[in-house]
Structures are given as structure tokens and as C-alpha cells.
């Protein structure tokens, strides 16, 4: 099986760093592209109330300001991946994370999902794993942090 498009659900803090790093290494080794997707959930304290919680702080902003902030942070992630020579795109989805990730798999034509259990929440990871139409690589962030991935022998 050949993987050409990896979907990577991301948080805007560091919770999904290991999944992004793992997917980046895979994409380089497989000559695949990545799609980073961030889901903001309006049903649980998001835009419906004008309050969005980011790691370490609570912000009261307008809906447009929140989406602009998410877009800017996602653009930083995209640039970080691009700096490793991987073709990458970013997507912002609104809704319940499990639903939005499953929809993004279909919309992007992804053939592999790489997600961090810590970065998406255990319930979301479990749901995506159970319902995904494509293979899912779930990274246990705590365990993965103990393993250093080096793909330098694949570089030419």
C-alpha cells in the first residue's frame, strides 16, 4: 500500500507536535504530502459564547478574530513542515472534532491519518480509529517522546 496524502489533526499548542513530527518523517520517506487540520468546537464553549480556550489562557474575541488567530497559528505549523521539504496544506474545520476529522479525510482524499491521542483527545482518537475509511496511525505522545525518529539515511 502506498500513502500519498497524510491527514494530521493538530492542536495549536504542543500537544500534537509528536504526530506532526512523525507524519513529516513519513511524508519525507514516502514522498507524500500532508494536510494539517485544526478543528474548533463551537458546541463546547467555542464561538457560540464568544469564549475560546487556548492552552494557558481564555480569550474573549469576536468569531472573525478567533478564526484569524487559528489561521495564523496554523500557517506557522504549515511553514514549519514546509521547512523540512514536505508539501503541506492547512485546513480549519468547525464542529465536533471526530465528525470534522472524518469529513476531512473524505474531502482531502487522505489515505492515512496520523494523530496524537493526547493532541486530539482520547475519545476523538478512538472515534476516528473506529470509523475512518483509511488506516490510522495513533501516536501515544508520552511513549513517542521517548523515541527519536531519524530519517537522515533516507535523504539523498
User: Domain map of the chain by residue range?
Assistant: 5-148
Q: Quickly count: other Cβ atoms within 10 Å of residue 106's Cβ.
A: 11
Helix, strand or coil, per DSSP, at residue 75: helix
Q: Quickly count: other Cβ atoms within 10 Å of residue 118's Cβ.
A: 21
| Total-model pTM | 0.79
d(CA 141, CA 108): 25
Residuewise pLDDT in 10s, the chain (156 residues): 789 999 999 987 787 888 999 999 999 999 999 999 998 875 554 433 233 444 434 444 555 677 788 888 899 999 999 999 999 999 998 888 899 999 999 999 999 999 987 655 568 888 999 999 999 999 886 654 444 444 444 444
CATH topology of domain 5-148: Rossmann fold (3.40.50)
Amino acid at each position: 500500500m502506498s500513502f500519498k496524502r497524510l491527514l494530521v489533526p493538530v492542536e495549536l499548542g504542543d500537544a500534537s507536535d509528536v504526530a506532526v513530527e512523525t507524519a513529516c518523517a513519513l511524508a519525507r520517506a514516502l514522498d507524500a504530502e500532508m494536510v494539517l487540520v485544526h478543528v474548533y468546537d463551537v458546541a463546547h464553549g467555542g464561538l457560540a459564547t464568544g469564549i475560546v480556550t487556548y492552552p494557558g489562557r481564555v480569550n474573549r474575541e469576536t468569531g472573525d478574530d478567533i478564526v484569524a488567530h487559528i489561521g495564523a497559528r496554523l500557517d506557522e505549523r504549515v511553514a514549519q513542515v514546509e521547512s523540512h521539504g514536505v508539501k503541506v496544506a492547512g485546513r480549519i474545520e468547525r464542529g465536533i472534532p471526530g465528525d470534522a476529522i472524518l469529513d476531512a479525510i473524505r474531502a482531502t482524499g487522505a489515505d492515512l491519518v496520523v494523530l496524537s491521542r493526547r493532541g486530539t483527545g482520547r475519545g476523538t482518537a478512538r472515534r476516528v480509529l473506529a470509523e475512518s475509511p483509511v488506516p490510522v496511525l495513533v501516536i501515544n505522545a508520552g511513549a513517542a517522546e521517548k523515541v527519536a525518529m531519524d530519517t537522515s539515511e533516507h535523504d539523498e
